Amino acid sequence: MRRLLAVLAAATLAVVAPGGEVAGSPSSAPAMYLTFDDGPNPLITPIVLRILERHGAQATFFPTGRTLDLFWGDEEVQDLLDRGHAIGNHTWSHPTLSTLWWTEVRDQFIRGGAAVRERTGFKPSCARVPYGEQDPGITAVLDGLGLALVDWQADPQEWRSPSREEALAHVQRWEEDGMVVLLHDRKWQTLGILEAILEHYGDRGWVFPPLPECRTDDEAAMRSAARVAGDSPIGGFEFPRSGPRSVRGWAYDPDRPEGGLEVSVSVDGHSFETLRTGTDQGFSSSLPHTVGRVCVWVGNEGLPREDAFLGCRTPPWPLD
């Protein structure tokens, strides 16, 4: 019964927040799409997440199914999504696809997608091909599975252990609004390179949203339907581009599917407002006219497990 309630409650979520949450990239600010392949790594990925957090940046992760199976369960993947990041398909075991039969290629993406769905309730809508191989057979398989191919412009090649300066110079050579940067959450060199990119471009007003083709319209509903009693809450938030300045989001806890979850909003490091989700799982809070960094937490209603952290982000409005 509880499970049914959860599914019913989740079904209404799509109305609240299509796509879970979409990072606002105002038309005036150039955007860079950071992508991390081949994770998760139990040591490196949590640090990558902290660095992104500190800079209010979001990214798109392309884990392999096999690595997910080794290292991450539902809570970790849902936490990644709570923080506004997106997830894509990077096959099951990272083979050189051009050496395989097309049925084996298809199987690689089906198994890679299933590993994500087991943990999140939805299959990724985008994929990255191992080693960036391009061939018509692979493209046909991706099309058949409804997966959008994600390529990249800049590849700082952490495997060569470049210095931060060399890596940043490489990204600058490909600098363009909407560029995709290939990184890997499995080597420590990536951490310094990521810091260098975020500092350099953050200072110049660039924004770092997740890839839109990796968001699924009913992600929030499907993620919620995958939760069972005792799980931690999940959610997401965005800054609406029109209307009064506000933060708007959704949160779902299988232990309280009827809503009423406590949501805490902090602004510039200070507690700003504590509110409750409605029966539609939504919440919304007006923000002061001048606001820097906004962080959101959701209180856990079930077993004494963790609250959910929905991340910290800076609204895309000008500080006037």
- Which residues are at the interface with Zn ion (CB under 5 A)? 37-38, 130
Q: Please identify, using beta-carbon distances, which residue of 37 and 255 lies nearer to Zn ion.
A: 37
Question: DSSP secondary structure string, 82-102?
Answer: HTT-EE-B--SS---GGGS-H
Q: Taking the complex as a whole, how short is the minimal distance between the CB of residue 131 and Zn ion, in angstroms?
A: 7
Contact by Cβ (8 Å): 89, 147:
yes
Task: Provide the minimum distance between the beta carbon of 210 and Zn ion in the complex, in angstroms, as a whole number.
Answer: 18
Nearer to Zn ion, 95 or 212 (CB): 95
263 SS3 class: strand
Helix ranges restricted to H, 157-254: 164-173, 189-203, 219-225
Q: Would you give the DSSP letter of residue 12?
A: T
Residue 92 or 206 having the CB closest to Zn ion? 92
Identify which of residues 38 and 253 has a Cβ nearer to Zn ion in the complex. Answer: 38
Residue nearest to Zn ion (CB): 37
Helical ranges in the chain per DSSP H: 2-11, 13-16, 44-54, 65-71, 74-82, 102-120, 136-144, 164-173, 189-203, 219-225
The three-class DSSP label of residue 44 is: helix
CB 245 within 8 A of CB 291: yes
* Cα separation, 256 vs 294, whole angstroms: 25
Q: Which two tokens stand for residue 21?
A: 């949450």
Considering beta carbons, is residue 37 or 74 the nearer one to Zn ion? 37
Of the two residues 128 and 223, which places its CB atom closer to Zn ion in the complex? 128
Nearer to Zn ion, 190 or 224 (CB): 190
Q: Distance between CA 19 and CA 107 in Å, rounded?
A: 27
> In the numeric block, which tokens belong to residue 69?
């199976």
The secondary structure of residue 214, as a DSSP letter, is: G
Encoding tokens for residue 50? 């902290």
Q: What share of the chain is helix, strand, coil (3-state, %, to 5)?
A: 35, 20, 45
Helix (H) or strand (E) holding 311, with range, is strand 308-313
- Residue 119 CB, nearest distance to Zn ion (Å)? 19
Minimum separation from the CB atom of position 130 to Zn ion (A): 5
**Three-class SS state of 278:** coil
Distance of CA 284 to the CA centre of its chain: 21
37 versus 253: smaller Cβ distance to Zn ion: 37
CB of 37 to Zn ion, least distance (A): 4
